[in-house]
Each structure stands twice: as structure tokens, then as C-alpha cells.
Amino acid sequence: MKLPDGPRTPRFLQLLQWIARPLEYLETSAQRYGECFTARWGNLPPYVLFSNPQAIKEIFTTEPMQFDSGPSNRIAKPLLGEHSLMLMDGERHRRERQLLTPPFHGERMRAYGELICDIVDQVTSQWVVGKPFSVRAVMEDITLRVILQAVFGLHEGQRYEHLIPLLSSMLNVTGSPLGASLLFFPILQQDLGPWSPWGRFMHRQQQISKLLYAEIQERRDNADPSRTDILTLMMSARDEKGQPMTDAELHDELLSLLVAGHETTATSLAWALYSVHHVPGILDKLLQELDSLGENPNPSAIARLPYLTAVCQETLRMYPILFITFGRVVKSPIEIMGYQFAPGAVLAPCIYLTHKREDIYPESNQFKPERFLERQFSPYEYLPFGGGGRRCLGMALAQFEMKLVLAKVLLRWQLAFADKSSVKPIRRGFTLAPSSGKWLVATGQRQKANIPVPL
């Protein structure tokens, strides 16, 4: 089987480029090899990346049994655990996804609206006018509290207070290109004691696991069906054979939700705040729409606002959290874009390059929320949460949370850039995050304009 052309640089150097300068790697490869090319990253199997919507449609709509995705996600096993949905395939994946889907939809999710708004008020009330703050750190604080309260049902107490710093510090281990290398180079995964990066990572993870298992055991001993948090719903779920999730499955899925649902949403919020204040005219339009809801708008009304929704969609287009979707490992011969792929080939739609296509998104390097008001994009043109049978389970909750947090911050505070230092996209673990630093400052609490509420 001959794979599509791709960079000829030695595998090891390609991996270093992929870790340290992923956007440059993707853009130069696409310029040279087009909308389908093969990337070779160290000892990982070759990845065939696609940015052609028709090819992406073929991949997303192919019978799920044609592909496995678990093997391509094994690199994340140290973060997620053996029983994470992301590492499963086949019948096991179908069963687990079926068990986990209900808590993230409908009335269950809307019940978290007031909770999210209260958390934003609690965290941002500590801001000091004139004192610059780290946008990403504040957003991570908010989204971590949302996860712990909405997913775990933890609002206070020792376990809650212990988990917050432990989870933050565990994710910070892989929070730079150098730290991300720990995930890509298994040889670096050596526990040499608390002074070594991997040793610190493992120690924190063990402490987190101890707390998670203690929480699961306490819930089993004191079952309360009236609770609405996601952990309670997961524990009460039963598969087609009437079987519940085991403690190990619950532990790993909780860990996956923490990793996949905390830092990712925080990163998107940081990008949204950057874009809203960086691009002229966006903030004024957004505030005018928010003010039209009157005093103390309810979360559902906020979430339905079209321009706010478009701002969040454009943020996820221009700064997608992940560069590529989960890789699909071919199980039986398949043809995509005229190429014949044999079993073992790894196919991966490239979110970043698809979102940069000029034929779909004219002036793709410009932040233009209006494009989402003018037309609707197919799930093969716009795919910030992946697609097919592997689309992110928490997509609806992430979008809901993003809109509420952004709205609450902007309604309460006037913000400005603290200095002229530029904000750049950098790798943070598996994600694309804004460079760190205290680049926003609160200039005062906002006095809402006297805009009549539409009848």
C-alpha cells in the first residue's frame, strides 16, 4: 500500500516539529502536499491527514466497525486511564457511550445553567481593578469548578479543596511543548522520584485517584437518587444487560471528563475573550445583544442569542482546541479520495486545516462571527468537536458553558489589554492554547447602557 505523499523530513524531526511548532508543520505540509498528506511522527504509525470535506464525510459516515480509534489514542492512556471511552472500540465503546450520553443532554444540562453563572460570579468577584490577570488561569479555575460541581456534585469540603490544586498541577505537567514531550516519548515516562517530571505527574495522579475512588465509594454507601450531578447519573445507568459501570470504569471516565472537559473549555474561553477585545466592533455588538435581554437574564435566554453563539462558533473555528480528530485505524480495505488504504493505516481529518480553507471560510485568518449568521456549515466543514461515532460527548455542555461564562464576564466587567505583548497559539498538551501571561486587566465594573427590552 502506497500512502499519500508527505514531508520527507526524518520521523524524529517531524515529531519534534509536531510537538514544538504544530501550526507551522501543518500549514507548510498542506501548502506543499495539498488536502491529503502523510505525517510520520517518531515511532507512531503514519497518520494520513485530510482537509477535504468530501473525504471527511466519507470517514465520518463509514460504518463504525470499519475503523478502530482506541489504538490511536493510546498515547493519552497515562492521562485518561485504561477504561476511558476514548480508548475503547467496538461493542465496548458502543455500550459505554450509551451509558454516558443521557447526562449531557436536554433538561439535565439546562439544570447546570444557574450553577455555571454562580461560579463565574464567585471567581470574578475576586478581580482587582487595574491589576492584570492570567486569562487562561482564571478560565481554568471556572471550568474546573464547573466540572467538580456539575459532574461530581462536589461543592465544598476537604475532597473538593484537595482536588482543585491537584488537578491543576497534574495538567500543568504537560502544559508546555517540553512537558507535552512526556506523552510523545515513552522513554521519558520514568518515575525517578518527586524531583522528576514524570514522578511528580504519577504522584499527583495517585492522589487524585485516591480521592476519586473515595468519592465513588461514599456515593455507593449513601445512594441519593435525587441528586442531579453527572456522577450520580452515571452510577445509576444500566446497560442492555442491566449491568452498571464498575468503580474502575467510573474512575477513568471521571478522569477523562476532567481532562477533556476542563482545560479545553477554559482554552476556548481564553481565545474568545482575546478575540472579542482584539477585533474592533465585536465587543460593542455583543454587549448590545446581551443588554437587550434586560436585567439578570436567565441562562437559557443567553444561550439562544445568535451573535453570542456566532462568536463562540468563530472562536472554535479559528482556534480549534485539537489540531486533528481521533485517528481512525483501518480494519479492512477502504478507498478514500481515490487512495486505497489497507488495514493498519491511520486516517485523521485535520480540524485546523479544514477550518482554514479559503473556499469555505473566505479571509479565514480574520475573526468574523458574521460568517456563522450568513450560512450554515456542514459537519464535514466545521468540526471543532470531531465527528461521526467519535464526536465529543460533552459538546452541548461545552458550548452551553462557553456562552454563559463569556456573557457573565462581559456583562459584569470592563476589560482591556494590559500591554501590547502579542498573544500567540502554542501547544499545551494535546491542545492549541493562547500563550500564557497576564494580558487582560479589569478597568472597572460595567454600567449597563439603558437599552429598552424588546417586547
Continuous H helices in 125-157: 135-146
pLDDT per position as a tens digit, 421-448: 778 888 877 778 888 788 999 999 987 6
- Terminal Cα distance for the chain, rounded: 64
Cell representation of residue 161: 479543596
pLDDT per position as a tens digit, 271-303: 999 999 999 999 999 999 999 998 889 999 999
CA-nearest of 418, 421, 419, 422 to 442 is 418
Q: Phi and psi for 418 in degrees, rounded to 5?
A: -75, -35
Band (pLDDT 50/70/90 cuts) for residue 369 is very high
Q: Is the CB of residue 219 less than 8 Å from the CB of residue 208?
A: no
Q: Which CATH number fits domain 11-445: 1.10.630.10, 3.40.50.300, 3.40.190.10, 1.10.274.100?
A: 1.10.630.10
Q: Is this model's pTM higher than 0.85 or not?
A: yes
**Which helix H or strand E contains 341, and what residues bound it?**
strand 339-341
Q: What is the torsional sign of CA 174, 406, 252, 223?
A: positive
Measured CA distances, 82 to 43, 78, 143, 292, 392 (Å): 21, 8, 25, 48, 18
Q: Is the CB of residue 427 less than 8 Å from the CB of residue 323?
A: no
pLDDT per position as a tens digit, 175-218: 565 566 666 666 666 776 777 777 777 788 888 888 889 888 98
How do strand 431-434 and strand 346-349 relate by DSSP bridges? unpaired
Q: Where along the chain do its domains lie?
A: 11-445
Q: Phi and psi for 144 in degrees, rounded to 5?
A: -65, -40
